[in-house]
């Protein structure tokens, strides 16, 4: 399906769109810009994604479409990364956060009606009835010049709850399972792993979990190309959402399957701290910088799903719903979706030591900064997936499920000023996810999580206003 924002999606979609527009005209504005950004958001006549004047989108992929390999596009499109392809083509590696409880959202379609079945060795796990699990990764090849989808196929099959992940400097996608389900839930194997999937591959990869990177509620990953160290976030489950921030020091940089050391971040001056600032216990404020320390973790395959509790007991700092992470210029940016006194979210910045992962970092530690803490939901609310734009601004997806609050794509300047770049106006008001840029910086890709829509956004990127 290739639509621009002026195309009609049919009578049903049009009625939904204009019904939503009528409601929006009587409601107060959903966002509050701290700087002008690209200007006010304009209502999308198709009822999918509002953008500023001059910007437009194409629908690259929609859940339920048949792909080139015979499977259907799974639902719940989450984390994603863009890699260079041949000529004007790029490759999108896209997660699908489906669980064993959602049998109709996987690549076999509703009622598992797709007759084709992958070879057993290409399926990581099955449910109690022997059906492949419905999470995984799809691979899309998109032509930037023609604005058309060239190819779509599954790349990883039979995993669960593939939330976010991260691109590697060597051209692969790390996809992360945000779950600790396993045999107790009727599954064949434990889950909560990271898998590596090459972007330039074809068809299904062998599903090999990177167990040395730990078993926990993985969210996202980012790699420092200078050291090969992988930094990972954890979206810990309810009720406390008390996760950790991790780093994996590989034995051989670039070869994660050969193992390494897993550690968790601590505040050097406050072991065992809680960085969420919840319940009146505010331990730091926007702009504060704390020296970092790292806690060695044991038994990282964590059969009892207690890695975060053991790490905290040994001094690691608690962060609230660690989600998106992206490696910028010598630093990692990551979001804590529900942290802060008002639980609107935080953005943290980690700057590594000049001797990161080496003995010398004790004398010259890295640092962790509370870069932004939202106090107003119309400015920023529930930040999730994150990237660094070519102009150095952060772009942040919102992850708030609400009957009132819409989910926006926000821009954040290096000074911490926030502006709205896009708004999900599709009927389900799902989170936005998977934000990433093409290598040439001209096209932004983003997912509408439910039902699972991937958009390609173009426009006057150089027209940003202060």
**pLDDT mean values, one per 10 residues, the chain (466 residues):** 33 33 57 97 98 98 98 98 98 98 97 97 97 98 98 98 98 98 97 98 97 98 98 93 96 98 98 97 98 98 98 97 97 97 97 96 97 97 98 97 92 98 95 98 98 98 92
The answer to the question of residue 174 being in a domain is yes
Residue with tokens 């976010």: 164
Half-sphere exposure of 58 (CA within 13 A, CB side): 17
From the CB of residue 141, how many other CB atoms can be counted at a distance below 10 Å? 20
The enclosing H or E element of 399 equals none
- Its domain, for residue 91, covers 69-209
User: Which three-class secondary structure state does DSSP give residue 19?
Assistant: helix
Nearest to 346 by CA among 270, 263, 249, 245: 245
Residue 27: the pLDDT is 61
DSSP annotation of 276: T
The answer to the question of residue 94 being in a domain is yes
Residue 449: the pLDDT is 98
The three-state (H, E, C) secondary structure of 44-81, written as one string = CCCCCEEEECCCEEEEEEECCCECCCCCECCCCEEEEE
The answer to the question of residue 23 being in a domain is no
Calculate the CA 373 to chain-centre distance.
Answer: 19
The answer to the question of residue 331 being in a domain is no
Residue 239: the pLDDT is 85
The enclosing H or E element of 151 equals strand 148-157
The answer to the question of residue 178 being in a domain is yes
Residue 428: the pLDDT is 85
pTM comes to: 0.94
Distance from C-alpha of 137 to C-alpha of 95, rounded to nearest angstrom: 5
Tell me the pLDDT tens digit for each residue of 279-330. Answer: 999 999 999 999 999 999 999 999 999 999 999 999 999 998 999 999 999 9
The answer to the question of residue 372 being in a domain is no
The first and second tokens of residue 9, run together, are 């999606």
The first and second tokens of residue 73, run together, are 């596009």
The answer to the question of residue 98 being in a domain is yes
The domain total for the chain is 1
Bridge-based pairing state of the strands 346-351 and 367-373: antiparallel
Residue 406: the pLDDT is 95
The answer to the question of residue 113 being in a domain is yes
């Amino acid at each position: 399906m290739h639509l621009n924002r002026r195309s009609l999606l049919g009578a049903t979609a049009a009625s939904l769109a204009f019904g939503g527009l009528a409601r929006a005209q009587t409601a107060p504005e959903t966002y509050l810009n701290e700087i002008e950004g690209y200007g006010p958001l304009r209502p999308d006549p198709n009822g999918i994604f509002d953008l500023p004047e001059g910007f437009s989108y194409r629908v690259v992929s929609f859940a339920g479409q048949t792909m080139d390999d015979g499977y259907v596009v799974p639902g719940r499109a989450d984390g994603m990364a863009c890699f260079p392809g041949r000529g004007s083509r790029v490759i999108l590696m896209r997660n699908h956060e489906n669980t064993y409880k959602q049998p109709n959202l996987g690549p076999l379609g509703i009622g598992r009606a797709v007759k084709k079945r992958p070879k057993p060795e290409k399926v990581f796990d099955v449910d109690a009835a022997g059906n492949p699990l419905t999470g995984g990764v799809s691979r899309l090849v998109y032509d930037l010049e023609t604005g058309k989808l060239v190819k779509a196929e599954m790349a990883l099959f039979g995993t669960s709850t593939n939330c976010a992940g991260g691109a590697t400097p060597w051209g692969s996608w790390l996809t992360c399972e945000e779950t600790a389900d396993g045999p107790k839930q009727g599954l064949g194997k434990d889950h909560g792993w990271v898998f590596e999937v090459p972007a330039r591959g074809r068809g299904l990869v062998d599903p090999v979990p990177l167990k040395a990177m730990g078993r926990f509620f993985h969210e996202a990953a980012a790699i420092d190309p200078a050291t090969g160290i992988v930094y990972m976030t954890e979206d810990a489950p309810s009720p406390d959402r008390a996760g950790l921030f991790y780093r994996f020091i590989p034995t051989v940089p670039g070869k994660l399957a050969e193992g390494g050391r897993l550690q968790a971040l601590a505040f050097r001056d406050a072991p065992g701290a809680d960085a969420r600032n919840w319940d009146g216990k505010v331990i730091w404020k926007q702009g504060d910088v704390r020296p970092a320390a790292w806690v060695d973790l044991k038994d990282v395959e964590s059969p009892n799903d207690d890695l975060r509790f053991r790490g905290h007991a040994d001094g690691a700092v608690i962060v609230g719903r660690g989600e998106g992470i992206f490696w910028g210029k010598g630093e990692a940016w990551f979001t804590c979706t529900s942290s802060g006194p008002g639980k609107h979210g935080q953005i943290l910045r980690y700057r590594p030591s000049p001797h990161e992962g080496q003995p010398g970092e004790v004398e010259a530690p890295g640092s962790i900064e509370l870069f932004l803490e939202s106090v107003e939901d119309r400015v920023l609310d529930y930040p999730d997936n994150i990237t660094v734009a070519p102009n150095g601004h952060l772009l942040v997806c919102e992850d708030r499920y609400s009957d009132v609050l819409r989910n926006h794509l926000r821009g954040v300047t290096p000074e911490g000023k926030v502006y709205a770049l896009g708004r999900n106006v599709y009927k389900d008001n799902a989170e936005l996810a998977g934000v990433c840029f093409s290598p040439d910086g001209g096209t932004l890709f983003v997912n509408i999580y439910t039902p699972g829509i991937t958009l390609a956004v173009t426009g006057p990127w150089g027209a940003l206003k202060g």
